[in-house]
Chain A
Amino acid sequence: QVQLQESGPGLVKPSETLSLTCTVSGGSISSYFWSWIRQPPGKGLEWIGYIYYTGSTNYNPSLKSRVTISLDMSKNQFSLKLSSVTAADTAVYYCARRSLTTGGAFDIWGQGTMVTVSS
């Protein structure tokens, strides 16, 4: 079955760029939308954006100026870059598959990776 695994630094300095990668195993990255979602400690979920396997993207308007999502079909991976981070970007970051069957809900999630923004 398809599994997702996030990877990347757990600590990022303020004003720098947060970079995370999601590796898709057990299935192809083709024919799906792939998303990033985050959750600050003790708080709710915030959708960051998604990328279609064709490379087209859609971002949360509140983060759009700082976010880039890209994919590497050869490695079955997609990535998140969030620039100019502050303490408010401290969160667990999840990657997830946006399912066609559900019409766009997130049916498969990674386990999440905690990223702390601190000097």
Chain B
Amino acid sequence: DIQMTQSPSTLSASVGDRVTITCRASQSINNWLAWYQQKPGKAPKILIYKASSLESGVPSRFSGGGSGTEFTLNISSLQPDDFATYYCQQYKSHSTFGQGTKLKIK
């Protein structure tokens, strides 16, 4: 099975900050990686697919990068609506999620 490891688990930041979340795969997944945002009591929402493709309707301050085993989600200028939990997901072989990164207001 492919394991996904996200870091950090928790991130404190302020409105306007630029933040980066990292996701590492236990083996190469090429670019078969997605990022999701989840708010309390809600279903996850897709932000990025194929590592760097922005889902329609998602603000351009979100961007993804990487390939192989190391990937990043960047938020260029945090907005109040961005404080949530973020998950990466590989879909090269079956599907596995990272453990999540909780983005908190500093």
Contacts and interface: CB of A to CB of B under 8 A. Distances in A.
A106 interface: yes
Interface of A: 35, 44-47, 50, 58, 60-62, 94, 96, 98-99, 101-107, 109-112
A60 B1 CA distance: 9
Contact of B97 (A47, A103, A112): A47
Interface residues of B, number: 23
A106 B50 contact: no
A105 B97 contact: no
A60 B49 CA distance: 21
A112 B41 CA distance: 9
Contacts of B97: 44-47
B34 A45 contact: no
A104 B44 contact: no
Interface string B47-67: 001100101000000000000
Contacts of B45: 109
Given A35-B95, A102-B46, A104-B95, 7 more contacts: A44-B97, A45-B87, A45-B97, A102-B53, A105-B46, A106-B44, A107-B55
B94 A47 contact: yes
6 contacts: A45-B44, A47-B94, A102-B49, A102-B55, A107-B46, A109-B45
The majority secondary structure among interface residues of chain B is: loop
Interface of B: 1, 32, 34, 36, 42-46, 49-50, 53, 55, 87, 89, 91, 94-100
B94 A61 contact: yes
Nearest to A59: B94
Q: Which of B32, B45, B94 has the most CB of A within 10 A?
A: B94
B43 A111 contact: yes
Contacts of A47: 89, 94-97
Contact of B43 (A94, A101, A103, A104): A94
